[in-house]
Structure 1
Amino acid sequence: MYELATLARGGVLLTPRAVAAGWPPGRLTARLRRDGWQRICRGAWAAPGKEVDWRVRATAHQLLRPELVCSHGTAALLHRIEQLAAGPPDILHFTAPPPARPARPHRTRVHTTALLAAGDHTTRRGLRTTTPARTVADLIRHSTGRDHAVVVADSALASRAVGGVRRDALVRYEDLAAQLAAPLRGAARARAWLPWAEPASGSPAETIARLRIRDAALLPDSQPTLHTPDGRPLRPDFLFRAAGLAVEIEGYAFHGTRRAHERDIARFNALQSCPAVRRVLRFTATEVFHHPDRMTATILTALTELSR
């Protein structure tokens, strides 16, 4: 019989593989438990001491069922696509062609569809997953509302840092439109939400701020390029050009270092020096998400004062 460690792939051992290598089932289970192997799901074990996170669990499921493709929220994690109030990462989402066996573990969901072409999936971080365009389309079609749909689309369309990792834009607007043309449930509603997307958006908080501002019938420019007196370019989150009002949205991330805080202050001062700017308003992510009416009221008051 082979040693169990040599039968594992990436620290994941499949019971069927060990049995095929000569291990009797009863003796195998006893040996696994004695040596500290960790049960991931039925038929799969993680090596002793290995952290069993969502990626390890997804790997185990794909080794057991090659037809499974990571999708929806799990694919979003792999591609670093942000969501609004995303579910816990331990709930794995897969897509498979019919007839697909239902997932047994309560933390796993399998979406069945015949519309998953070869070009709709790829490999990311060692796992088979839907492409960014297909992932975003699936998330938008299954969104509970416009806000979540637009946050997802903005994240994929933008070049930004997610989880401390800088990445390029993942999709083009045309790619999303093409994906949403497929006759799937929720596609018509998703197509109506897509025009709200803005590739220049810098964060989920900025996306929600833009939606709340536009819901208040206000139409600022998003991420316009301005110049300081010495010619340095700056891009505020929003600009009401006629009034000269710039609006900045601060994300949840803490400055982290004194140097970062100093850069933020310098940027704020530089923005105020731009000839096109008469006033700057700053709002935190907490204000955007929990007190949007207060934010829009402050903007309206400033616009009124600047118009006098």
Structure 2
Amino acid sequence: MYELAILARGGVLLTVWALAAGWPPGRLAARLRRDGWQRICPGAWAAPGKETDWRVRETALQLLRPRRVCRHGTAARVHRIELLTGPPPPEASRSSLPPEDVCLRRGLRVTTAARTVADLIRTAGSREAAVVTADSALSRRVVDGVRREPLVRYEELAAQLAVRRPGAPRARAWLPLTHPASGSPAETVARLRMADASLHPGCQPQVRTPRGRTLRPDFLFRSAGLAVEVEGYAYHGTPRAHERDVARFNALQSCPGIRRVLRFTAREVFTEPGRMTATIADALADLTAATGGGSRSA
């Protein structure tokens, strides 16, 4: 009989592997208990001390059921696609999927990024949830501490949503609201709320400091000279990050053509969007009055 650690794959052991290697059921059960193996689900165990997170659980389930494919929220986590709300419970396919809609990523069988985003948009509970998901996949992001490139192209999403599936018509109407320059879920929601208030800034435009440094404010009403910055929950996570933020704020204010910078937290964007848009509208009115003209658009 082989030792259980040798039979395991990536720290996951299936009971059937141990039995096939000659372990008697009673002796196997005693050894699993004695050595501290952790039960993941019926028929699967995690090695002693191994963290049994969602990836380990999904790995075990796919080892038990080779046709299983991660979908929806679980696939989003694998691809590092941000969602407006926390990740939903794991979901796996209960019906066959076209081979071109399935891929192997981070050791798991999942729906492709394009199919995952299309599924999430079709089943989204709100416009904001749908566009946040699409923006995340369309843009370059740092997610879970990992910097990644864009996962899909707009044309790929359009092709997925052209297929007749429940929720596709509504999803197709939301797709044009996406923007590949969006840097975070909070930025996406802020852009949508501003558009609802007839405020249409440029997104992530280039500006230059007097010394030639290139910056990209989250939003810019260029004709009025108003920049708007949206800061995420963890933006000031360390003293160094706070110092960088202060330096960036000062540099942004020094750019020719920028007369004022407004800053909003993610919490304000999500919970008090009306106050955010009213503050922006008031600032635009003040700047316009000071120059004798202007626009509420970029």
Query: By the TM > 0.5 criterion, same fold?
Result: yes
Between Structure 1 and Structure 2, how many residues are aligned? 289
1:113 aligns with 2:113: no
Gaps of 5+ in 1: 96-111
Structure 1 residue 76 displacement after superposition: 1.0
Structure 1 residue 298 displacement after superposition: 0.4
**Per-residue deviation, residues 92-130 of structure 1 (Å, max 9, x unmatched):** 2212xxxxxxxxxxxxxxxx334x222212221111111
Q: 1:258 to 1:2 in 2, by over 3 A?
A: closer
SS in 2 for 1:68: coil
Q: Which amino acid aligns with 2:107?
A: G
1:222 aligns with 2:229: no
1:284 aligns with 2:284: no
User: Aligned partners of 1:256, 1:191: CA distance in 2, in Å?
Assistant: 37
Structure 1 residue 160 displacement after superposition: 1.5
Which residue is 1:141 aligned to?
Answer: 122
Which residue is 2:221 aligned to?
Answer: 240
SS in 1 for 2:73: helix
Runs of 4+ more than 3 Å apart = 256-259
Structure 1 residue 26 displacement after superposition: 3.5
Moved more, 188-197 or 268-277: 268-277
Q: Percent identity?
A: 71
SS in 1 for 2:109: strand
Instruction: Give the alignment's TM-score, normalised by structure 2.
Output: 0.92
User: Aligned partners of 1:239, 1:58: CA distance in 2, in Å?
Assistant: 43
Structure 1 residue 191 displacement after superposition: 0.9
Structure 1 residue 232 displacement after superposition: 2.2
1:46 aligns with 2:46: yes
Instruction: Give the alignment's TM-score, normalised by structure 1.
Output: 0.89
In the TM superposition, what are the counterparts of 1:194-273 in structure 2 within 5 Å? Answer: 194-273=175-254
User: Aligned partners of 1:8, 1:305: CA distance in 2, in Å?
Assistant: 67
Moved more, 291-300 or 15-24: 15-24
Which residue is 2:135 aligned to?
Answer: 154
Moved more, 229-238 or 240-249: 229-238
User: Aligned partners of 2:256, 2:55: CA distance in 1, in Å?
Assistant: 50
Gaps of 5+ in 2: 290-298
Which residue is 1:6 aligned to?
Answer: 6
SS in 1 for 2:86: coil
CA RMSD in angstroms comes to: 1.5
Structure 1 residue 262 displacement after superposition: 2.4
Q: Which amino acid aligns with 1:8?
A: A
**Per-residue deviation, residues 131-151 of structure 1 (Å, max 9, x unmatched):** 111111111111111111111
Q: Which amino acid aligns with 1:72?
A: H
Structure 1 residue 218 displacement after superposition: 1.2
User: Aligned partners of 1:155, 1:292: CA distance in 2, in Å?
Assistant: 20
